[in-house]
Structure 1
Amino acid sequence: MSNKAHSLLWNIGQLLPRSRVLRIYPLGFCRPEVVYSKWNPRNRLLNGFEYGLRPSVRCLFQGILKSVDGCTQTKGVRHTVLFKFGNVLCPRRLSSDSEHSLVSDGASDHDLMKLNFHHTASENVLTKKMIPTPMNHKKLAQECNSLSDVLDTFSRAPTFPSSSYFLAMWTIVKRIPGDKRRFEIQLMFRHPAFHQLCEHMMREAKIMHYDHLLFSLNAIMKLGVPQNTLMVQTLLRTIQERINECDERCLSILSTALKTLEPCMNVNALQAGLRILVDQQVWKIEHIFTLQTVMKYIGKDTSFALKKKLEMKALKELGRFSVLNSQHMFEVLAAMDHRSVVLLNECSKKVMDNIHGCPFKVLIGILQSCRDLRYQNEDLFKSIADYVATTFEIWKLKQVIFLLLSFEDLGFRHPGLMDKLMERVVAEPGALNLKNIVSVLHVYSSLNHVCKGQNREFLEAMTSALTVHLHRISSENLLNTVYSFCLMNYFPLALINQLTEKNIIKELLTSGDTEKNIHKLHVLNTCLKLDEHACYKATHIPLPQLPLSPAHPNDKVAEVLSSLLEGDGCFSRNVQLPHNYHIDFEIRMDNNRTQVFSFSDVDATSATNMQRVAVLCVPKSVYCLNSSHPRGLFAMKIRHLKAMGFHVILIHTWELRKLRMEDAVAFVKAKIYSPEAPPTTDATV
């Protein structure tokens, strides 16, 4: 550098305030480094991004600029606009309106040399804050009433960054009603400035803050821009290239944005990059909300090792979990498809301790997540049901029914809550619409809930409420309601007469889920023939034959019976009965059940004092959760076996597996020779 330039720079440095320091950058650019104490690009997201953009101060080199044929040029110095992102210096060329000190479309290096900083004669060029006009997307959304207004504002004076316009439009869309929203989005696509805004967005993608880029992608997708467009794919590619700039907050935004995208090459690559990044940074995540967002949107097909690492991180931070974090963790684990019993148990305790005041949506989310994760916590379910039963008056009828449907999915029966709903239905049968009636009947028949005091009144009230809708009920809903009544051993004539009409049967056998329809019609046929409460037994619906029930080995039970009855001749295995019923073992005994007859003894089998005994090996799934209360279909099977002349003995397979052979023999012997009938009421297993 010449002595003249050095002297000029030294003299100017003496005149500058101490708070501002000039620094010569290696690329040959000289600019003021100004400390803005109240500005933080992370704390003021999207509301002051432009304050971080500072163009190079070429006026410091006025002493060494020369005019050649009306053009200004420098000695070996190339001019551009510098933007600072944190500690990274990014020389980029922008396109925007010239009134805001940025370069217009198609600007050349010659135009860049003519940047005007709009300073007055009384102001020192070195001390002026050289910043473009700020663009606040929230303020823009408040000032504009439609998407076209935002695009009109952009066309009059485009400003950096373009993401502010997309965010403003998405903010406006969220407050527009659904019907008008589609019309506004159509107008947005047809607006002449929309394509120009998209071009600006693509050009600015590599220079805007990374979190701005992610927010822009999310807003663009929510506005309905197709994913296969050049702009969206450009943003995806740019996000890939700059993924190393992703901090903790950006991890959360990127995880959320990826959930809204359809699989494609760029999305798959970005998803893989996100997983690698999460795997590297999981122990550095400080905020619980960020951790849960990443876990929720990381994807079900993530490797088990990464899922386990995220689980360990969550367990490590368990002491910092708020009530909201604990409630949210059920949905997070379900979205990740990772069943962490330890984490679920700890979160369940906090949910139970703070159950009062828990919103309905959160309760439903917890129950649905438990179903998806196959997590059965009777204490948690009982706590939720007790809370709803205690505050029954504040809940809407459809909310209680929806909760009971969730409990039915889990196989959980809460007699107190179900009795309260029964009382409400008996008192106000007209309060139920058709959908509610179908749901209530499904829950009560599936869980086999019977209230001795008002069961008959409940069934009659449901029949009366359903009869009002008979003129407009669909065939499938009619079948579902009659099927539910059959499980509860109740047969309303008006409903059965309408269901057995030929056109209804034909429709059920040719449309919808025909396999389920055939099964339910077979149940109706069986009930009309075997149940003593059926009003007429002559009705028969011609149906296709169902496949035979699959036979289960039950080798241990067979070995126990062989040891107990001294041979295989005293029992029969896998007996197929009429009406598609199947029993695991059949034994023939006297009426007092003190003696077992051999199947080869013709005289014994033809004796009048002989009783057939059906031995059923049953799993836990045929009972309500953690009880010996049989569910609807199983209770109906027991009822029908008794109607066919069998005495039913139930062998719990999960109990028998735990026993040694001698203990198992004693266990089965007590069942066979016991005069007690199988339990049909609540009892803890």
Structure 2
Amino acid sequence: MNNTAGSFLWSLRQFSILASTSITRRLYSLGFFQPAIAYSHWNPRILPRNVDRKTQSHVRHLFQDVSLFKPEADGFQIKVINPGTVSRIERQLSMDSRHNHASNDGLKEIDFHHETSNEEVLTKETKRTLINLKILSSECNSLSDVLDIYSKAPTFPSSNYLSAMWTIAKRMSDDQKRVERQLMFNHPAFNQLCEQMMREAKIMHYDHLLFSFLAVVKLGIPQNTLLVQTLLRVIQERINECDEKSLSVLATILDAMKPCKNVEVLRAGLRILVDQQVWNIEHVFTLQMVMRCIGKDAPVALKRKLEMKALRELGRFSVLNSQRMFEVLAAMGYRSAVLLDECSKMVIGNIHGCPLKVLINILQSCKDLHYRNSSLFKGIADYVATTFDIWKLKKIIFLLILYENLGFRPVDLMDLLVKKIIEDPGFLNMKSIISVLQIFSSLNHINEQQPPEFLEVLTSTLTGYLHHISSESLLSAMYSFCLMNHFPLVPLNQLLKEDVIKELLRSGEKNVRKLSVLDSCLKLDDVPYHKAIDLALPQLPAVPLNPNGKVAEVLRSLVGEGCFSRNVRLQHHYYIDFEIRLDTNKNQALPFSDTDAVTSADIQRVAILCVPKSVYCLDSTHPKGLFALKIRHLRAMGFYVILLNNWELEKLELEEAVAIVKTEIFSEQALPAADVN
């Protein structure tokens, strides 16, 4: 019954447009670069679904004695349509509507020629031309071929031509698409096709309208044209006709379009529609499409409803659905730990044969969602390391950049890259050198078997690009070398030129921080180059200090109030949370008032650092680059460094915490950070 009602309503709409086209002025042409017009009035009322056959007869009765207006030289000529003519037209439109319901490929077309008289249109069977979309797209080799066929015999609907053009365009390369698109814009029949598309938008079946609009968007027709804005308006007015298939296509369209007023109004309508129909969505693919499309600024209640629907459908998730869910949640801006955990298990269990592009998208989504799953990260890294030889090295480097952003150190994969760089450094360009240096220095990873060769290859390759490298890129490279305690002289001499330093100081605070680190390394590390930066560096903002009340209470119970100092600021912008001074045998803590008269040779200064998890690589106690540099410099300044993990001490009672800290301070074993580099 619903199909019959839908067919009748479509026929009713089609006839009303036919009756009004005689008095409608010719629509504007495509109108490139006209300002976009916002249509924000769309009707949220749901169309009636159940219309019985009696209703059809009543509505049909309203067609009797309808007036058509035909423009004449001195006015309008009125033609009255008799009931018999209406019956014939209604039967004709009903037959066409059944073809539209059946398939987009086999539509029988109606040829509207306004040059003929109204009597010919209304009293004769409308001429039909069978156009098969598959045949049209297979026989034509270019977009212009489709337009040539259209110009010979324009037929209804225009959606077949646009869909065929997009099908053909998908087979082309990017360069060929650009050429064909320009030829399409210049074709004399293109404006005519666009005008017909705008005329037919209100009578076309909604799914055909959406598919043709998707083709318009994918063909690259500018968004601020009259065609695109008109279609946006019509889709917006008819949004209540969306079924599940149309919902998926509409979500795909909105996801491909840039923000503008009409797009945002349509997106708001889609959100309301999804909120009403979410529990009726049957296909996981459609669910993921609408989740991706609703946007990050959608109401939280709607996001939670979609999350609950996705959790209900978990049992029906395919491997592809699980892989896409990461990107979907990132596009929605919603971090669902339960969904991500379940999809991670599916990804790990079916990772063999997965394209590297998909794995990169998963890691990028994890970064955007601040989702950390070491099992997922390790599974991806192990798979890429196992299949290392089949991937392009630039993609592996990009994968490692994502790992560096996530704070995860894939040891085996990084070791394989080190080996590849030593064996064949020819693939490295300037950009990849800087990326590799950033990855290895940030994660504090140096291959213990071949560190000199690795750093020498990178230094030699970087030196070859000194005449082409920018000042900021050179600073980034030397900053990474400093973190790895390596100071190549030629790049360093180039960087320390006065004009280069002045240029970097004008570039922002980020470069000032890197220059400060470089200056500290030149003064504190064992550098074969003893010239520091000549120019005075700007003062950096003070680092916020942490209270660390639990550790202070532990030290008060352990060594007494006067035997430790809090928040000690040192040279080179370093600070330590607590300082304790021990005798040389590390048996007794000395009060600070008594150590002034004692020579430094008889005192062991202890730096206690209260550290969060973020200073380590994910799920490990391996310090990251900057934190490892701080430990190295504190030891160079004569400190004995002790690391206390905040998240562990907070869980302990006072007595247990005192026992642990006492063991760390007075133990004769090597400190945890003694072998950082």
TM-score grouping bracket, smaller chain normalisation: 0.7 to 0.9
Instruction: Tell me the equivalent position of 1:53.
Output: none
1:251 counterpart residue number = 247
AA at the equivalent of 2:93: F
SS in structure 1 of the partner of residue 130 of structure 2:
coil
% identical equivalent positions: 61
State how many pairs are aligned: 594
Larger radius of gyration: 1
Q: CA RMSD in A?
A: 2.9
2:658 alignment partner, SS class = helix
In the alignment, structure 1 segments of 5+ residues that lack a partner are: 1-24, 30-70, 91-98, 119-131
1:508 pairs with 2:504: yes
- 2:538 aligned counterpart, secondary structure: coil
- The match for 1:83 is 93
1:590 corresponds, among 578, 583, 593, to 583
Judging changes above 3 Å, is the alpha-carbon distance between structure 1 residues 603 and 260 closer, same or farther for their aligned structure 2 residues? Answer: closer
SS in structure 2 at match of 1:422: helix
User: Does the 8 Å CA contact 2:133/2:164 hold for their aligned counterparts?
Assistant: yes
CA distance in 1, matches of 2:126, 2:388: 68
Matching residue of 2:646: 653
Pick 1 or 2: higher relative contact order, CA cutoff 8 A, min separation 6. Answer: 2
* Secondary structure of 1:588's aligned partner: strand
Change over 3 Å in CA distance of 1:117–1:242 after alignment to 2: closer
For residues 388-428 of structure 1, the C-alpha deviation after alignment (integer angstroms, 9 at most, x for no partner) is 22222222222322222121111111222211221221122
1:214 equivalenced with 2:210 (yes/no): yes
Contact 1:72 1:113 in 2 (8 A): no
Aligned to 1:122: none
The amino acid of 1:678's aligned partner reads L
CA contact (8 A) 2:319 2:347 kept: yes
Would you say 1:560 and 2:570 are equivalent positions? no
Q: Distance in 2 between matches of 1:662 and 1:504?
A: 56
Q: Summarize deviations over 1:300-334 as a string: whole Å, max 9, x none.
A: 11222221221222221111211111111111111
Q: Mapping of 1:133-282 within 5 angstroms?
A: 133-282=129-278
Aligned to 1:497: 493
Q: 1:67 corresponds to which residue? A: none
**Could you tell me how far apart the structure 2 residues matched to 1:623 and 1:494 are?**
32
Counterpart check, 1:525 vs 2:519: yes
Q: 1:38 aligns to what?
A: none
1:642 CA displacement: 0.5
Query: Do residues 353 (structure 1) and 349 (structure 2) align?
Result: yes
The residue aligned with 1:380 is 376
Any residues of structure 2 matched to 1:475-494 within 5 Å, and which?
475-494=471-490
Deviation readout 1:451-503 (Å, 9 max, x if unpaired): 22211121112212222222222222221111111101111111111111223
Amino acid at match of 2:547: P
Aligned equivalents of 1:391, 1:486: Cα separation in 2: 32
User: Aligned with 1:630: secondary structure?
Assistant: coil
Secondary structure at 1:544 match in 2: coil
Which has the higher mean CA deviation after the structures are superposed, 442-451 or 389-398? 389-398
Q: Residue 302 of structure 1 aligns to a residue in which SS?
A: coil
Contact 1:604–1:610, Cα closer than 8 Å, also in 2: no
Q: Deviations over 1:589-629 (max 9, x none)?
A: 21222211222225555464112211111111110111111
Q: Does the CA contact (< 8 Å) of 1:28 and 1:77 recur in 2?
A: no
289 and 151 in structure 1: CA distance in 2 versus 1, 3 angstrom threshold: same
CA–CA distance in structure 2, aligned partners of residues 105 and 212 of structure 1: 24
Task: Give the TM-score taking structure 2 as reference length.
Answer: 0.82
* Within-5 A mapping of 1:300-319: 300-319=296-315
Q: Does 2:472 match 1:462?
A: no
Residue 102 (1) aligns with residue 111 (2):
yes
Q: Distance in 1 between matches of 2:448 and 2:189?
A: 72
- Partners of 1:291 and 1:27 in 2: CA distance: 27
**Which stretch of the first structure deviates more once superposed, 517-526 or 603-612?**
603-612
Could you tell me how far 1:222 is from its partner in structure 2?
A: 2.5
Which is richer in helix? 2
Are 1:573 and 2:569 counterparts?
no
C-alpha distance 657-436 of structure 1, shift in aligned 2 (>3 A): same
| Ranges in structure 2 where 5+ consecutive residues have no aligned partner | 1-7, 13-78, 101-107
1:331 corresponds in structure 2 to 327
Aligned residue for 1:631?
A: 624
Counterpart secondary structure, 2:297: coil
- Does the alignment pair 1:550 with 2:559? no
Deviations 1:240-292 (A, max 9, x none): 22222211111111111112223333322221221121122222211111111
Deviation at 1:437, TM superposition (A): 1.5
Amino acid of the residue matched to residue 138 of structure 2? Q
How far off its partner does 1:632 sit?
A: 0.6
CA change 1:26–1:147 in 2 (3 A) is: closer
Q: Write the distance in 1 (CA, Å) between the matches of 2:221 and 2:200.
A: 18
Structure 1 position 87, deviation (Å) = 8.8
Q: Which whole-Å deviations, capped at 9, do the CAs of 1:17-40 have from their partners, x for residues lacking one?
A: xxxxxxxx99999xxxxxxxxxxx
The question of whether the paired residues in 2 share the 8 Å contact of 1:251 and 1:294 is answered with: yes
Question: What secondary structure does 2:189 align onto?
Answer: helix
- Does structure 1 residue 642 correspond to structure 2 residue 602? no
Contact 2:10–2:205, Cα closer than 8 Å, also in 1? no
Q: Normalization by structure 1: what TM-score? A: 0.81
> Contact 1:205 / 1:238 at 8 angstroms: preserved in 2?
yes
**In 2 relative to 1, CA 174–88 (structure 1 residues): closer, same or farther, beyond 3 Å?**
closer
- Relative to structure 1, the CA distance from residue 669 to residue 27 in structure 2 (aligned partners, 3 Å threshold; closer, same or farther) is closer
- The match for 1:396 is 392
Amino acid at match of 1:454: Q
Look up the equivalent residue of 2:579 and give its one-letter code: E
1:418 aligns to 2:414 (yes or no): yes
Structure 1 371/26 Cα, relative in aligned 2: closer, same or farther at 3 Å? closer
Shift of the 110–605 alpha-carbon distance from structure 1 to 2, 3 Å rule, reads farther
The 1-side partners of 2:10 and 2:398 are apart by: 67
2:567–2:575 contact (8 Å) kept in structure 1:
yes
Change (3 A) 1:501 1:340: same
Residue 75 of structure 1: CA displacement? 5.9
1:435 lines up with 2:431 in the alignment: yes
Q: Is the 8 A contact 1:339 1:373 kept in 2?
A: yes
Partners in 1 of 2:492 and 2:674 — Cα distance?
29
Residue type of the alignment partner of 2:240? N
After superposition, the Cα gap between the structure-2 partners of 1:83 and 1:593, relative to the gap in structure 1 and judged at 3 Å, is farther
State the match for 2:40 in structure 1: none
